[in-house]
Structure 1
Amino acid sequence: MSIDARRARTTPVLGSLAEPTSLRSRVTQVLREAMVAGELAPDTIYSAPALAERLGVSATPVREAMMELTREGLVETIRHRGYRVVELGDVALDEIIELRALIEVPTVGRVAGTATAEQVARLRPLADRLTETAESGELREFVAADTAFHLQLLAIAGNARIVEEVRRLRGMSRLSALRRLHQEGRLTATAREHHALLDRVEARDAPGAEALMRHHLGHVRGVWAGLPES
């Protein structure tokens, strides 16, 4: 068999594998964001066809995404009925934030000492997007922009493992009070902290950036979760 003939046989197979993988990853990301934002609640059973209809995709990538989220311990399968988001207890959520603080606070301090003006400028549109979604009440989009902002900020430190670990931990957070905060007009105030954080990074104020990052993380187990903050 000629090389051209072999290529003709293999190309369609390779092409058919790429697109579903990308779609599955995107569906997984969207479902994870919806869980964090509280749009997928722990006390509700969701079927793959119903979620697929909401997302405008077939049920197959939704089932594949739910299998991945099940392996991560974020979702459980209810036989013949669908899927349920696992409710994480207060102790587990507090431990997640403790881990995030141990990683993110000093890393942001390092970034404040090394970030260029161009790197900071590239994050400004994301900070703007956070304010826009907070004002409009687009909660899943708010979570997506928040994740993108913080992961890109941490990436400036040059450690890909830190970025991936924070991505994983963020997916386990629960920000159930975002809708109420939006309705009360208070979500925008916390969203504006992202520009303040960039200001401190741009000024190379490492202690100030660390302090604001620690305060900002407090919202995850504070007002964003419907709990008081000290």
Structure 2
Amino acid sequence: MRQITGTTNLNRQVAEALREAIHTGELRPGELYSVTRLAETLGISRTPVREALLTLADTGLVRIERNRGFRVVRRNPRHIAEVFHLRLLLEVPATRLAATAVTPDLLNALRSELTAMQDAAQAHDEPRFMHHDRRFHALILETAGNSLLTNTVATLRDTITTVGASTADQTRSLSDIAAEHTPILRALEAADPEAAAQAMRHHITHTGELLVAQTAAENAEPVSEPDTALLHNTHP
């Protein structure tokens, strides 16, 4: 695990280092880790480590055990299904609404983000790709005119990012993900609310299904019918 350098935003640096170690498998789910030993590895005091762990515990990534240390929590298929269920309930109607308020500026911005996603996919640059992916979705949500909705979806996406769940280059390529955004853009260009909503529904549902299946496989368990049903139990 990389040592922490500098003192600016120390808690954030520690949290990012822990996320990286979890995502690479250096810190493994289920094992008990010592806060003291982790602080020594990072070259810092225990206080910022504890504070960073509290932040990660709030997102469900780790579980703190009093006077013992902490454990990395296994990714939970049900939790992922619930997050994507909420995204469907929020983003599909928001996309339908956005299609009634399309402007040339919005379409140009969406085309720019999709092009940037395609370029990042060609370069196999997942962080850059996800930046433009998030911006593509945010532009649509912002057009719906509800800032609380936009922020809520951003938080839901952060939840998935924090636990390190991604389909990129596992069950589909970055180019495949980018391609799922094309029907959304085409429907918005046509100012077709139902087509736009359906394209967004397909994209979010497909992503959720793949992530639930991946997470179930990691836990050596079958995908449960209730989790699958949750991704399809939304209003038309």
Q: In which range does the TM-score fall when normalised by the shorter chain?
A: 0.5 to 0.7
Per-residue deviation at 1:109? 0.4
Per-residue deviation at 1:24? 6.8
Is 1:179 paired with 2:169? yes
Which residue of structure 2 lines up, in the alignment, with residue 132 of structure 1? 119
Per-residue deviation at 1:216? 0.2
Cα deviation 1:128-174 (Å, max 9, x = unaligned): 22222333332233333322221222111111110111111112225
Which residue of structure 1 lines up, in the alignment, with residue 87 of structure 2? 100
- 1:32–1:171 CA contact under 8 A, matched in 2: no
CA shift in 2, pair 1:68/1:120, >3 Å: farther
- 2:118–2:175 CA contact under 8 A, matched in 1: yes
Which residue of structure 1 lines up, in the alignment, with residue 29 of structure 2? 43
- 2:77–2:212 CA contact under 8 A, matched in 1: no
Q: Which amino acid aligns with 1:220?
A: T
Give the Cα separation in 1 of the matches to 2:71 and 2:127.
18
Give the Cα separation in 1 of the matches to 2:195 and 2:17.
34
Unaligned 5+ residue runs, structure 2?
1-6, 215-222
**What is the aligned counterpart of 2:137 among 106, 131, 150?**
150
TM-score by length of 1: 0.66
Which residue of structure 2 lines up, in the alignment, with residue 10 of structure 1? none
**Equivalent residue runs for 1:1-230 within 5 Å:** 20=8, 43=29, 66-77=53-64, 85-173=72-160, 175-181=165-171, 186-223=173-210
Give the Cα separation in 1 of the matches to 2:185 and 2:202.
14
The range that moved more, 86-95 or 103-112, is 86-95
Percent same amino acid at aligned positions? 29
CA shift in 2, pair 1:27/1:199, >3 Å: farther
User: Which is helix-richer, 1 or 2?
Assistant: 1
TM-score by length of 2: 0.64
Give the Cα separation in 1 of the matches to 2:61 and 2:204.
21
Give the Cα separation in 2 of the matches to 1:34 and 1:215.
30
Per-residue deviation at 1:69? 3.1
Per-residue deviation at 1:196? 2.6
Cα deviation 1:166-186 (Å, max 9, x = unaligned): 11111222534423246xxx4
Give the Cα separation in 1 of the matches to 2:80 and 2:189.
31
- 2:78–2:212 CA contact under 8 A, matched in 1: no
The range that moved more, 66-75 or 129-138, is 66-75
Give the Cα separation in 2 of the matches to 1:178 and 1:39.
15
CA shift in 2, pair 1:221/1:159, >3 Å: same
- 1:107–1:157 CA contact under 8 A, matched in 2: yes
Q: Paired residues, what number?
A: 201
Q: Which amino acid aligns with 1:180?
A: Q
- 1:113–1:206 CA contact under 8 A, matched in 2: yes
Unaligned 5+ residue runs, structure 1?
1-18, 54-58
Q: Which amino acid aligns with 1:169?
A: L
- 1:33–1:140 CA contact under 8 A, matched in 2: no
Per-residue deviation at 1:20? 4.7
